[in-house]
Amino acid sequence: MTNVVVIGSQWGDEGKGKIVDWLSSQADVVIRFQGGHNAGHTLVIDGVTFKLRLLPSGIVRKNKISIIGNGVVIDPWALLNEIEEIENKGVNISEKNLIISEAANLILPFHKEMDEIREDAAGNSKIGTTRRGIGPAYEDKVGRRSIRVMDLLSENNLERRLDTVLQHHNAIRKGLGKKIFKKDQLKKELLKIAPKILKFSQPVWKKINEFKLANKKILFEGAQGVLLDVDHGTYPFVTSSNTVASAAATGTGCGPSSIGFVLGITKAYTTRVGEGPFPTELKDEIGEELGSRGKEFGTVTSRKRRCGWFDGVLVRQTIKISGINGIALTKLDVLDELDEIKVCVGYHLNGQSIDYLPAAVDDQLKVKPIYKSFKGWKSKTKGVQDFAKLPENAKNYVKFIEKFIETKVSSISTSPERKDTILIINPFS
């Protein structure tokens, strides 16, 4: 039985929601393994739109088990609000279809405040975070002072843990001239919501092992994209977790042998939210047209996305780093009206040609793309569900991408509708 990991192969926002929704209809278990409520997946089920931030995509489907793994950082109030929001749309959420890892770390109000303080103070050096406390929460996790779901079980233990984490944060806040954070009120608020969170809490690693023994199909749902990985992305303009496929194992408590197929969701052009290097960015009318036609605004933040040509060098690089077995090419129809379409096939750096994005941010900002040009197809691909029915120039574009990135195109999305997909390889088969 093949278990599938879905990740973004670019900077996120590749259209994972639609693909994950289609895959979750086949899966028995859907698991989030990293990130926080900064990533949004939009699903449309029977005409109802769901915008998920922390809840796995399987939650909107009957007879599916959804899991939030230990690799996720959870804002408990945001989670409870999201549960209420989804239940108001007719979805039943209970301990039977939602499991939260007892080892997951919590995002607390001072994390969000620290995120805002840092971004505001950074000026031109800001990273462009979503200001939701994700980074500071991961810092506390690595610093071994974090509050975890299991800590909500005991008032005495929670008080000790709060003393530890606030000793750290209040020292920083004092140095920045900010008000000291009071423990008692926060403890009271956490104890109030503790039963609502703890009822979903289980040892996720144990449950996954049970599902594997029962031959359940498991879908591991990633957030953001490989280029935002804290180790392999455009550091420091990255998220605070590992977004590569191997994080599915550490972020849930199962071995890498549990993963059978890695699917990289890949947009037919490139977008990025926030600050940082973007070699193929288009600051012209074409960039504006891509953004307009592609409705390039964030699901969670509504922030406008930067747009540019498809960067084959970067996608090939993320495929190697993350062990991607096939890509789902999305938003091909956004390119329908263009006379000419370009693909980045290399970079110029300091007078030399290179075939990868270097690790140093100064070099990443200096590289100049080398392009290969293609004639546009100037005809409609929206709604096409058969590769043979694509315009010839669109076929040439897809075939070139497949050859250049050295990985199969497993599907092509030709509209936001789930039915408008050209399926070539089913990852679960």
- Is 168 catalytic? The answer is no
Of all residues in the chain, what percent are helix, strand and coil, respectively (each to 5)?
A: 35, 20, 40
Q: 10 Å Cβ neighbour count for 120?
A: 10
43 bridge partner residues: 50
In angstroms, the CA 424 to CA 418 distance is 15
Whose CA is closest to 169, among 179, 160, 154?
A: 179
**Amino acid identity, residue 287?**
G
d(CA 413, CA 97): 29
Q: Is 41 a catalytic residue?
A: yes
Ramachandran class of 338: left when φ > 0, alpha when ψ lies in -120 to 50, beta otherwise:
beta
Cα three-residue angle 292-385-388, rounded to 5 degrees: 110
Q: Where on the phi/psi map is residue 323: left (φ > 0), alpha (ψ -120 to 50), or beta? A: left
Q: Residue ranges of the alpha helices (H) in 269-311? A: 285-293
Enumerate residues 6+ apart whose C-beta is below 8 A from 401: 310, 312, 315, 329, 343, 409
Q: How far apart are the first and last CA of the chain?
A: 8
The b-or-e profile of 42-81 (16+ CB within 10 A means b, else e) is bbebeeeebebbbbbbbbbbeebbbbbbbbbbbbbbbbee
Distance of alpha carbon 335 from alpha carbon 331, whole angstroms = 8
Cβ proximity of 204 and 252 under 8 Å: yes
Alpha-carbon span 144 to 62, nearest angstrom: 38
| CB atoms near residue 194 (< 10 Å) | 19
In the structure encoding, which two tokens stand for residue 338, read together?
């263009």
Active-site annotation holder among 21, 28, 37, 41: 41
The DSSP 8-state label assigned to residue 390 in this structure reads S
Q: Of 199, 183, 189, 111, whose CA–CA distance to 149 is shortest?
A: 199
**Residue numbers annotated as active site:** 13, 41
